[in-house]
Chains A and B, each alone.
Chain A
Amino acid sequence: MSDSDFGPYSKKVMELFENPKNVGEIKPADGIGKVGNPVCLAPNSLIITNPSIEEISLLKKTDKVLGHDGKFHKVGRVFKRKYKGDILTISTHNLGKTTLTPDHLVYAVKIGSRYKFTHKDKFFPDWYQAKDLEKGDFILYPILKETVDLEYINFDVKKERYDFKSKDLPKKIKIDRNFLRIIGFYLSEGYTRTDRCKGTIGFTFGSKEEEYEKEILSLMEKVFGLSSGNIVYKNNSINIPFYSARLARFFSDFFGKGAEFKKLPLWAMILPTKKQKEIIYSLWRGDGYINNKQAKFVTISKTLAHQLKVLLLRQRIIFSFLVGKAYGIHKKYYSFYIKDKNSLNKLSALMRHKFSYSLEKKNNHHKTWFNDDYYLTPIWKIEEETYAGEVNNLEVAVSHSYTTGNLAVHNCGDVMLLTIKVGKNGDREIIEDIKFKTLGCAAAIATSSMITDMAKGKNLEEAYKIEKKDVSKELGGLPPIKEHCSNLAADALKKAIEDYRSKK
């Protein structure tokens, strides 16, 4: 047995594996090509952050995002690049959809439509490329795991100099059932008006909701020692204002101003689930209903909608989440339907709602379920379209993953790194220098070494045309299962050139 006869590789592969050329990284590089689990969501993809949601293109370094382990992690780097090619939109039952490049890695269990999940505590989740997923595969959506049981929140809104109207308020507020219920009511029915020294926080209910009127009056009295100003009954509604500029500012800072921008602060998102029940309780009473068939909740705040998603998943309540087009000034509304029997029972317990007769049997027909860390729900549609434009990705510390509205996806990969330096030869641009680094098998090292050699000195157009089969041919062939490795090297080169061109 000679030294190069190892496994399935040709002599040339082994030669380059033993003595790879062009290893390293050019700094600063004119173009960088990275592959592995390579990247990229459409720029308007929503990412679950700490504490709310943000479009991926607006995220910055040091923002925190939700990893697939259910915890928040820092964004290390943000990437964007131009992309032209196919793009996939994956829709999952109940959660929504995300648009991403076909090679992006998604946390999922491969089932396909062939099998049924017969046993729910057995499965082998893994990262799959989006293009390998199909209808019926289950995705694992992380449930927020961080919990901090905050007891008090400081009320540190300053009293303005000419503010004579605001009453004295407690210095710190106990985060108890009463306060949390006020939050829920504020999110669903509250409004604020803030001027410098005049300000109002108020609640508007339907004329038949006198029960709520009584409740909010007693809650505000208990927590803040405030009593209402003029309660106005008109146009089938009840308006209950409380005059306090400081409190109004406090609420608009923490919980958003205007129905479209209502939100929860971080400390409320990570309260223990028992306490969060109180927020959901009054929130749902304001903007939702529950009856024997279903429960429904509607909001026009995008942030609040996605936050409620996180909260409901923490309560292990299964819902379907829909985005609808609204007429008038609001462009979209977000609604939650709960029809699954178990989830309805959970919600009714939380709502102290007694069903007038026993529940109709309606089990969750999409067969979604929870385990300790994840919500599992099947993919129901994957659409493919061509796309040209910017795509984005993140590098996330620790978990190396982040969460969109319906998927946990892997962050950008470092399996292969190719850097190029571009020079001039007459009026043509040539690859003056090229270097690679890879965490890969022998084939990956050999193909990288090969392609760097092939590309060096070539002009950009020619280098861009190097295909994976050219590389594998030069190497005297690769075992079929390893063809993807040479794929990586060729992809990385193309990306490096694209990167260079996009910077020009």
Chain B
Amino acid sequence: MTDIMKEHYFDYAATTPVDKEVFKSLEPYLKEKYGNPSSIYSKGQEARLAVEEAREKIASLIDADPEEIIFTSCATESNNLALKGVAFQHELTRKLARNNTKNKPHIITSQIEHHSVLNTCKYLEQFGHKVTYLPVGEKGLVQLQDVKKAITNKTMLVSIMYANNEIGTVQSVAEIGKIIKAIRIKRQEKGNKTPLYFHTDAVQAIQYLPTNVNKLGVDLLSITGHKFYAPKGVGALYIRKGVKFLPQQSGGGQEKHRRAGTENVAGIVGMAKALELAQERKEKEVKRLKNLRDYLIEKVLKIPGTFLTGDREKRLPHIASFAFRGVEGESLLLKLNNYKIFASTGSACTSDSLEPSHVLLALGLKHEIAHGSLRVSLGRHTVKEDIDLLIKVLPGIVEELRKISSFKYGATNER
């Protein structure tokens, strides 16, 4: 355990390092091209041009119009803007009083969304909006018939994440998009004027899965730069033309009055570049990561009393998530840290609330098992040697912790 030991980063789902090319593309906007895009002199216009170019680039990568892209500070902001923006605008057009709880719009989401969606929903509930949280079952998959059943005449927004950040489960977003389209047509025929929008949180999915917004049938889509090798502090929201929404940040006229605040020019440029690179490398990278991931899963599941959380097949190429009986996640991370292996857990002991992750509980896992969860996420710099090291040290650590453990774990893989 010397300081020259190589680091083994297995937390790409948390964040990623900035790519060299990306950094090169954004560097000038931190140094010499520092103008404010809202200034009309040429230094300002230079920056403005960069932002607009980035917008075009991102738009073309997801088959959208540049006007449909709004830059934000992160995915949390994008999700907030999507949900609150649409919900409050609906209230406004219907001239519904804030304290009138009847006829409030209805939102559908799933139990395993990111906190930025779940807590926004809870926030909206305080204003009388109704929210249905769809269950996901033990694989973490939202069932299409559940979505269908949950949609009522008052439903105005469906927000289902593209792929989950903790267990990597990929939802059938395109199919849900189709269902929503069909219902929208029915509503038109019946003369129901309530709009029905579909939002997806594509933060984890954007760089590995198909992201054509028209094929997915989504109206709103959130992304953030730092998950695909762009710097932190920049995100974007795709809003389809015609979706009415109320801006949530008041101020200047940036982003066509839809999101006030000086643009993070360097971040935006970097994000566009990073997304471009990700799309170029997508096919190869997905294949490579899938192989690594499957290799890892196969080896780790050989440890007795271990199981995979989430679906085996419908899974992001870069996320493998496990639960170990009789082991506590934080202890596991600390022991791995000794080998400079960095991973993450949904255990309560690492959260502020001392509650295990809501995602793991939604899968129906017991508390003590959710405590023993480990998420390993791979990325561009992960090589087989990293995984081999992890596989080498993990069984020993698990065994060591089980010796201290007061829980009998049993050698079964049953939950």
* A contact residues vs B (CB 8 Å cutoff): 2-3, 6-7, 14, 17-18, 20, 23, 36, 115, 118-119, 121-122, 124, 126-127, 400, 414-417, 437-445, 481-482, 484
- A439→B406 contact, CB < 8 A: yes
- A126→B355 contact, CB < 8 A: yes
A439 partner, pick from B328, B337, B350, B354, beta carbons under 8 A:
B328
Digitize B380-415: 1 where CB-to-A-CB distance is under 8 Å, 0 elsewhere.
Answer: 000000000000000000000001111100000000
- A442→B331 contact, CB < 8 A: yes
B35 CB to nearest chain A CB (Å): 38
20 contacts between A and B (CB under 8 A): A3-B338, A6-B337, A115-B126, A118-B101, A118-B130, A119-B130, A121-B133, A122-B131, A122-B132, A127-B367, A400-B366, A438-B404, A439-B326, A439-B406, A440-B331, A441-B331, A441-B349, A444-B349, A445-B404, A481-B354
Evaluate whether A438 and B131 lie within 8 angstroms (CB atoms) in the complex, with A6-B337, A17-B331, A118-B101 already known: no
Evaluate whether A414 and B406 lie within 8 angstroms (CB atoms) in the complex, with A441-B328, A441-B347, A481-B352 already known: yes
**B352 proximity list for chain A (CB < 8 A):** 481
Evaluate whether A118 and B125 lie within 8 angstroms (CB atoms) in the complex, with A6-B337, A126-B355, A440-B349 already known: yes
- B328→A440 contact, CB < 8 A: yes
Instruction: Give Cα A126–Cα B326 distance, bound, in whole angstroms.
Output: 20
Question: Which residue of chain B has its CB nearest to the CB of A449?
Answer: B404
B371 interface residue, CB < 8 Å from A?
A: yes
**B282 proximity list for chain A (CB < 8 A):** none
**B338 proximity list for chain A (CB < 8 A):** 3, 18
Question: Which residue of chain B has its CB nearest to the CB of A35?
Answer: B406
Question: Which residue of chain A has its CB nearest to the CB of B372?
Answer: A439
Query: Could you list 15 further interchain pairs (A-B, Cβ under 8 angstroms) beyond the known A17-B331, A20-B404, A438-B406?
Result: A3-B337, A119-B130, A122-B132, A124-B361, A400-B366, A414-B406, A438-B405, A439-B327, A439-B368, A439-B371, A439-B407, A441-B330, A441-B347, A444-B349, A482-B349
A208 CB to nearest chain B CB (Å): 49
B334 interface residue, CB < 8 Å from A?
A: yes
B4 interface residue, CB < 8 Å from A?
A: no
Instruction: Give Cα A18–Cα B347 distance, bound, in whole angstroms.
Output: 19
B182 interface residue, CB < 8 Å from A?
A: no
B166 CB to nearest chain A CB (Å): 16
- A417→B334 contact, CB < 8 A: no
**A444 proximity list for chain B (CB < 8 A):** 328, 349
**B130 proximity list for chain A (CB < 8 A):** 118-119
- B101→A437 contact, CB < 8 A: no
**B133 proximity list for chain A (CB < 8 A):** 121-122
B305 interface residue, CB < 8 Å from A?
A: no
Instruction: Give Cα A14–Cα B337 distance, bound, in whole angstroms.
Output: 12
Instruction: Give Cα A416–Cα B368 distance, bound, in whole angstroms.
Output: 12
B128 interface residue, CB < 8 Å from A?
A: yes
Instruction: Give Cα A115–Cα B126 distance, bound, in whole angstroms.
Output: 8
Question: Which residue of chain A has its CB nearest to the CB of B7?
Answer: A1
- B347→A414 contact, CB < 8 A: no
**B132 proximity list for chain A (CB < 8 A):** 119, 121-122
**B405 proximity list for chain A (CB < 8 A):** 437-439
A129 CB to nearest chain B CB (Å): 11
Digitize B321-341: 1 where CB-to-A-CB distance is under 8 Å, 0 elsewhere.
Answer: 000001110110010011000
A406 CB to nearest chain B CB (Å): 22
Evaluate whether A17 and B334 lie within 8 angstroms (CB atoms) in the complex, with A438-B406, A440-B349, A481-B354 already known: yes
A442 partner, pick from B330, B367, B407, beta carbons under 8 A:
B330
B358 partner, pick from A124, A400, A417, beta carbons under 8 A:
A124
**B347 proximity list for chain A (CB < 8 A):** 441
Instruction: Give Cα A126–Cα B133 distance, bound, in whole angstroms.
Output: 16
**B126 proximity list for chain A (CB < 8 A):** 115
**A437 proximity list for chain B (CB < 8 A):** 404-406
Instruction: Give Cα A225–Cα B186 distance, bound, in whole angstroms.
Output: 62
Instruction: Give Cα A315–Cα B1 distance, bound, in whole angstroms.
Output: 64
A199 CB to nearest chain B CB (Å): 51
- A23→B349 contact, CB < 8 A: no
B55 CB to nearest chain A CB (Å): 37
Instruction: Give Cα A400–Cα B407 distance, bound, in whole angstroms.
Output: 13
**A3 proximity list for chain B (CB < 8 A):** 1, 337-338
Question: Which residue of chain B has its CB nearest to the CB of A415?
Answer: B406
Which 10 A/B pairs are nearest by Cβ-Cβ distance?
A441-B349, A441-B330, A437-B406, A417-B406, A439-B407, A122-B133, A414-B406, A439-B405, A23-B404, A119-B130
A369 CB to nearest chain B CB (Å): 15
**B128 proximity list for chain A (CB < 8 A):** 118
Instruction: Give Cα A54–Cα B330 distance, bound, in whole angstroms.
Output: 41
Instruction: Give Cα A267–Cα B158 distance, bound, in whole angstroms.
Output: 45
**A20 proximity list for chain B (CB < 8 A):** 404
**B406 proximity list for chain A (CB < 8 A):** 36, 414-417, 437-439
A448 CB to nearest chain B CB (Å): 8
**A416 proximity list for chain B (CB < 8 A):** 406
**B326 proximity list for chain A (CB < 8 A):** 439
Instruction: Give Cα A122–Cα B334 distance, bound, in whole angstroms.
Output: 35
**B331 proximity list for chain A (CB < 8 A):** 17, 440-442, 445
**A6 proximity list for chain B (CB < 8 A):** 334, 337
B314 CB to nearest chain A CB (Å): 24
Which B residues, 215 to 232, have Cβ-Cβ distances below 8 Å to chain A?
none
Digitize B294-335: 1 where CB-to-A-CB distance is under 8 Å, 0 elsewhere.
Answer: 000000000000000000000000000000001110110010
Evaluate whether A414 and B407 lie within 8 angstroms (CB atoms) in the complex, with A118-B130, A127-B367 already known: yes
**A481 proximity list for chain B (CB < 8 A):** 352, 354
Instruction: Give Cα A343–Cα B320 distance, bound, in whole angstroms.
Output: 48
Instruction: Give Cα A126–Cα B330 distance, bound, in whole angstroms.
Output: 21
Question: Which residue of chain A has its CB nearest to the CB of B126?
Answer: A115
Instruction: Give Cα A440–Cα B354 distance, bound, in whole angstroms.
Output: 12
Instruction: Give Cα A437–Cα B403 distance, bound, in whole angstroms.
Output: 8
Digitize B50-71: 1 where CB-to-A-CB distance is under 8 Å, 0 elsewhere.
Answer: 0000000000000000000000
**B404 proximity list for chain A (CB < 8 A):** 20, 23, 437-438, 445
Question: Which residue of chain B has its CB nearest to the CB of A115?
Answer: B126
Question: Which residue of chain A has its CB nearest to the CB of B5?
Answer: A3
Which B residues, 93 to 142, have Cβ-Cβ distances below 8 Å to chain A?
101, 125-126, 128, 130-133
Instruction: Give Cα A415–Cα B348 distance, bound, in whole angstroms.
Output: 13
**B1 proximity list for chain A (CB < 8 A):** 3
**A23 proximity list for chain B (CB < 8 A):** 403-404
Instruction: Give Cα A185–Cα B256 distance, bound, in whole angstroms.
Output: 77
A396 CB to nearest chain B CB (Å): 13
**B371 proximity list for chain A (CB < 8 A):** 439
Question: Which residue of chain A has its CB nearest to the CB of B104?
Answer: A118
B279 CB to nearest chain A CB (Å): 35
Which B residues, 349 to 369, have Cβ-Cβ distances below 8 Å to chain A?
349-350, 352, 354-355, 358, 361, 366-368
